[in-house]
């Protein structure tokens, strides 16, 4: 046998499979091939080639090398690194990396245009078609529909030469960004940070900088300077900008397009498959030089990646919790290392992990202490709900309502922040006390008034709100407990009847276009009160927004996982940071039952340092991240008995390693999801331990039986 090709398949298989390289195929690492798997042919990627001399096993042969371009070696290296880090099968990240390769290509489409020739015979129907054709170039069927006539009329005009069909090729090439256009005139502190980033890019190679600047300090302007340096210094250099929310990508895309006079590649789950294919191919050919995207953009096949920016780096949305479990910030740093690229982590409230790396000198630390121009940080006040509670059945306290009234009177805008979708987080029967839960999951059902349904936010299960209690059959006994954004919207409308009130949550804003529209409407001052979940509370600039009311500042502190305080601090600093971003002073009011809590005190005093110092101290004592490392094992099964046995077996074979402690198994807080019982182990390790290797070794010692599934979560963010 001549050579053996190990082929990675985009499937959850533990390793690459060996195939024989057929005579004359001359494969290279990274090539995309078709390989037989069972009765099917699968797309795969050549991970390695070796001499087959002395191998007697019969091997299937690679069927063909695909026409699609090969993956760059560093992309392949990154995919394999990510799998090892996440203790998962390499086929999982490979599947993400090939997502664009497998999308259909955009097809050319035909549109109808006027030729200039006058029709020999004019009828009212023909006139309508000519008017519609003059207004827009549409495909024939759409033109007929737009004119309100039958297709025959359009065809007649085509036959007469009055109209002609033109074939439009799909947009192929990306516009070349112009890195030499002047950016904004930077303030002294912005210029200093930009210089430092430019130096970092100029020096080349892998380095990480933490761009730590208060909300509205111009971090985006500054990192765009670093991008300009990278693009200008090397005509093939590529830049990746990662954002935590699709809603935020739109604003950054617009700013990139203005800064470089070129539309960047856009990459997230909302991008249509042909457009994805175009970005994927553009990134691979090098023609697409700037990508703005969500976390999975990290797996694109960059040819010459020189700079990765992770904007809002602290954001928990960078953690992918399902399927291939990874944290995009951590993998961005890894990708930067593999590619020899600069990495910029930007945030107003950096994660403790990144702050620790900055403190110890592993990262450069660039600070922007003030807002740009005359804008000042908002004044933050605490509303003690024990002293000034809202009226019964209401959620906005008298001080907040008064502040809203004053703000609206001045013609300014209010943002009410509540990180809870729907109308009410809990529905219960006042006759029997039963809480409404999904049939196969033990989370509460959330009431949605717009759709009239009870929804499980975890699995998507939903049902119409029943007229009678399903448990005791009492009629009209179901009551809604607590507020969601829809309920706060209702209250705001009833309090301020003249005000234009809108809701921004993933239920009212389905896609990137809708998000963009709502953000623009708000920025244009056409909304007076925006009630929003975190989807709208981050990153945006609304010039007339001067009051942010946090409806339930304590929300994130309940449940008490490791990062509860940190996350609450970050989220509320972000949300309150939306106020007063231009010339008008801003104000934020936090409604809380815990005004003495360290998080509330730090927010009110705008004293991040004190909060970080206290939080770091606690983490250090307990050996928790960033001072130690964590991993979780989540085992699940439809059969409780089998799950029990598996967990017992797993506990018995946990490797005994100094510096590692294993806790559990315990029932997961969500112990039933989609009919599966769930149990968790938590592993804490010293930083010196290779936790991924430990977890891989542990898992290799037990083989799940039947329907038992095991997922490993390195650095868990969710403890459910
Ligand atoms: P951050 O990313 O730190 O929240 P942005 O980069 O979004 O801040 O800047 C906040 C606002 O201030 C934006 O509207 C931005 O265009 C504006 N801005 C920041 N720096 C400058 C500058 N040097 N010149 C003009 N406008 C600026």
Predicted confidence at residue 440, as pLDDT, reads 82
Average pLDDT, the chain: 91
DSSP run (H or E) holding 455: strand 453-455
Instruction: Give the pair of three-digit tokens for residue 355.
Output: 């702050």
Q: Which residues pair with 712 in a beta bridge?
A: 633
Predicted confidence at residue 335, as pLDDT, reads 98
User: Is ligand 1 within 6 A of the CB of residue 220?
Assistant: yes
Mutational test site, ligand 1, from 185, 216, 257, 345, max ligand atoms within 8 Å of CB? 216
Q: Whole-angstrom Cα distance, residue 642 to residue 670?
A: 18
Predicted confidence at residue 702, as pLDDT, reads 92
Å from CA of 545 to ligand 1 middle = 16
- Asked whether the predicted pLDDT for residue 707 surpasses 70, the reply is yes
Among protein residues, the one with the nearest Cα to ligand 1's atom 14 is: 541
The string of pLDDT tens digits covering residues 163-205 is 998 888 777 688 999 999 988 899 999 999 999 999 999 999 9
- Nearest alpha carbon to residue 492 among 479, 504, 475: 504
Predicted confidence at residue 391, as pLDDT, reads 94
List b or e across 316-343, with b for residues whose CB sees 16 or more CB atoms inside 10 angstroms. bbbbbeeebbbbbbbbbbbbbbbbebbb
DSSP run (H or E) holding 592: strand 587-592
Least confident of 35-39, 276-280, 312-316, 376-380: 376-380
> Is 584 in contact with 546 (CB distance < 8 Å)?
yes
Predicted confidence at residue 643, as pLDDT, reads 94
User: Is ligand 1 within 6 A of the CB of residue 190?
Assistant: yes
Predicted confidence at residue 169, as pLDDT, reads 77
Report helix, strand or coil for 13. Answer: coil
- Asked whether the predicted pLDDT for residue 711 surpasses 80, the reply is yes
Query: What percentage of the chain reaches a pLDDT higher than 70?
Result: 99
* DSSP assignments along 212-236, one per residue: EE-TTS-HHHHHHHHHHHHHHH-TT
HSE-up of residue 412 (Cα within 13 Å, Cβ side): 24
User: Is ligand 1 within 6 A of the CB of residue 189?
Assistant: no
Among protein residues, the one with the nearest Cα to ligand 1's atom 26 is: 184
- Band of residue 305 on the pLDDT scale cut at 50, 70, 90: very high
Average pLDDT over residues 390-418: 95
Q: Which has more pLDDT, 155 or 137?
A: 155
Instruction: Give the pair of three-digit tokens for residue 561.
Output: 């996982």
Predicted confidence at residue 637, as pLDDT, reads 95
Å from CA of 539 to ligand 1 middle = 11
Contacts of 292 (CB under 8 A, 6+ apart): 241, 243, 249, 252, 253, 256, 264, 265, 266, 267
User: Is ligand 1 within 6 A of the CB of residue 543?
Assistant: no
Q: Whole-angstrom Cα distance, residue 674 to residue 400?
A: 40
Q: Whole-angstrom Cα distance, residue 334 to residue 79?
A: 10
Mutational test site, ligand 1, from 221, 253, 375, max ligand atoms within 8 Å of CB? 221
> Is 566 in contact with 356 (CB distance < 8 Å)?
no
- Asked whether the predicted pLDDT for residue 519 surpasses 60, the reply is yes
Å from CA of 251 to ligand 1 middle = 12
Q: Which residues pair with 5 in a beta bridge?
A: 19, 49
- Nearest alpha carbon to residue 63 among 44, 49, 50: 44
Q: Which residues pair with 113 in a beta bridge?
A: 164
- Band of residue 645 on the pLDDT scale cut at 50, 70, 90: very high
User: Is ligand 1 within 6 A of the CB of residue 370?
Assistant: no
- Asked whether the predicted pLDDT for residue 215 surpasses 90, the reply is no
Q: Which has more pLDDT, 425 or 497?
A: 497
- Band of residue 601 on the pLDDT scale cut at 50, 70, 90: very high
> Which of the residue ranges 117-126, 152-161, 307-316, 701-710 has the most confident prediction, judged by mean pLDDT?
307-316
Predicted confidence at residue 387, as pLDDT, reads 96
Å from CA of 353 to ligand 1 middle = 26
Å from CA of 219 to ligand 1 middle = 7
Å from CA of 618 to ligand 1 middle = 35
Q: Whole-angstrom Cα distance, residue 264 to residue 241?
A: 10
Among protein residues, the one with the nearest Cα to ligand 1's atom 17 is: 218
Q: Whole-angstrom Cα distance, residue 319 to residue 310?
A: 13
User: Is ligand 1 within 6 A of the CB of residue 219?
Assistant: yes
User: Is ligand 1 within 6 A of the CB of residue 100?
Assistant: no
- Asked whether the predicted pLDDT for residue 666 surpasses 60, the reply is yes
Average pLDDT over residues 690-709: 93
User: Is ligand 1 within 6 A of the CB of residue 183?
Assistant: no
Backbone CA torsion sign across 56, 59, 63, 68: negative
Report pTM.
0.86
- Band of residue 660 on the pLDDT scale cut at 50, 70, 90: very high
Mutational test site, ligand 1, from 220, 248, 313, max ligand atoms within 8 Å of CB? 220
Among protein residues, the one with the nearest Cα to ligand 1's atom 18 is: 218
- Asked whether the predicted pLDDT for residue 1 surpasses 60, the reply is no
Q: Whole-angstrom Cα distance, residue 679 to residue 681?
A: 7
> Is 10 in contact with 32 (CB distance < 8 Å)?
no
């Amino acid at each position: 046998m001549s050579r053996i090709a190990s082929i990675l398949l985009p499937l959850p298989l533990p390793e690459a499979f060996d195939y024989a390289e057929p005579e004359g195929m001359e494969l290279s690492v990274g090539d995309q091939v078709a390989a037989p798997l069972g009765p099917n042919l699968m797309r795969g990627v050549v991970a390695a080639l070796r001499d087959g001399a002395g191998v007697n096993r019969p091997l299937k042969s690679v069927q063909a090398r695909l026409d699609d371009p090969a993956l760059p070696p560093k992309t392949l290296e990154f995919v394999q690194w990510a799998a090892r880090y996440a203790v998962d099968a390499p086929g999982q990240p490979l599947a993400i990396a090939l997502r664009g390769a497998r999308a259909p290509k955009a097809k050319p489409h035909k549109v109808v245009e006027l030729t200039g020739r006058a029709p020999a015979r004019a009828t009212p129907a023909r006139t309508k078609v000519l008017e519609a054709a003059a207004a827009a170039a549409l495909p024939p069927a759409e033109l007929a529909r737009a004119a309100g006539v039958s297709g025959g009329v359009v065809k007649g005009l085509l036959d007469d030469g009055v109209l002609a069909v033109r074939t439009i090729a799909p947009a192929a090439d990306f516009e070349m960004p112009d890195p030499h256009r002047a950016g904004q005139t930077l303030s002294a502190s912005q210029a200093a940070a930009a210089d430092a980033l430019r130096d970092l890019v100029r020096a080349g190679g892998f380095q990480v900088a933490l761009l730590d600047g208060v909300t509205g300090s111009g971090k985006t302007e500054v990192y765009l300077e670093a991008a300009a340096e990278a693009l200008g210094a090397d005509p093939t250099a590529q830049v990746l900008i990662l954002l935590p929310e699709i809603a935020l990508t739109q604003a950054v895309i617009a700013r990139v397009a203005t800064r470089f006079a070129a539309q960047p590649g856009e990459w997230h789950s909302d991008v249509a498959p042909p457009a994805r294919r175009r970005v994927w191919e553009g990134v691979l050919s090098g023609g697409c030089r700037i990508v703005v995207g969500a976390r999975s953009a990290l797996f694109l096949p960059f040819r010459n990646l020189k700079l990765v920016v992770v904007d809002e780096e602290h954001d928990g949305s960078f953690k992918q919790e399902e399927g291939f479990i990874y944290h995009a910030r951590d993998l961005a740093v890894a990708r930067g290392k593999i590619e020899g690229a600069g990495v910029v982590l930007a945030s107003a409230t950096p994660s403790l992990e990144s702050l620790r790396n900055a403190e110890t000198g592993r990262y450069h630390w660039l600070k922007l202490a003030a807002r740009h121009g005359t804008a000042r940080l908002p004044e933050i006040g605490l509303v003690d709900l024990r002293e000034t509670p809202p009226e019964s059945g209401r959620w906005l306290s008298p001080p907040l309502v008064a502040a809203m009234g004053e703000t609206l009177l001045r013609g300014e805008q209010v943002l009410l922040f509540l990180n809870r979708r729907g109308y009410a987080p809990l529905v219960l029967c006042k006759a029997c006390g039963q809480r409404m839960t999904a049939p196969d999951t033990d989370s509460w059902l959330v009431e949605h008034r717009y759709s009239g349904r009870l929804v499980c936010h975890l699995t998507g299960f939903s049902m119409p709100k029943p007229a009678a209690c399903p448990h005791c059959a009492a009629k009209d006994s179901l009551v809604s407990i607590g507020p969601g954004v829809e309920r706060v919207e209702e209250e705001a409308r009833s309090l301020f009847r003249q005000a234009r009130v809108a809701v921004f949550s993933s239920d009212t804003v389905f896609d990137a276009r809708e998000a963009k529209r709502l953000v623009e409407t708000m920025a244009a001052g056409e909304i007076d009160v925006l009630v929003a979940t975190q989807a709208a509370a981050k990153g945006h600039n609304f010039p007339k927004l001067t009051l942010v009311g946090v409806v339930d500042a304590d929300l994130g502190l309940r449940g008490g996982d490791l990062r509860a305080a940190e996350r609450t601090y970050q989220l509320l600093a972000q949300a309150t940071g939306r106020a007063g971003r231009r010339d008008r002073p801003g104000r934020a009011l936090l409604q809380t039952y815990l005004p003495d809590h360290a998080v509330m005190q730090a927010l009110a005093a705008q004293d991040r340092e004190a909060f970080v110092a206290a939080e770091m101290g606690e983490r250090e004592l307990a050996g928790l991240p960033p001072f130690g490392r964590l991993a979780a094992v989540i085992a699940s099964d439809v059969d409780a008995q089998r799950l029990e046995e598996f967990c017992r077996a797993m506990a018995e074979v946990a490797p005994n390693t100094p510096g590692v402690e294993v806790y559990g198994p315990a029932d997961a807080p969500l112990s039933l999801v989609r009919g599966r019982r769930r149990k968790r182990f938590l592993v804490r390790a010293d930083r010196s331990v290779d936790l991924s290797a430990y977890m891989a070794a542990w898992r290799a010692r037990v083989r799940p039986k039947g329907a038992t599934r095991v997922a490993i979560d390195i650095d868990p963010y969710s403890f459910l």
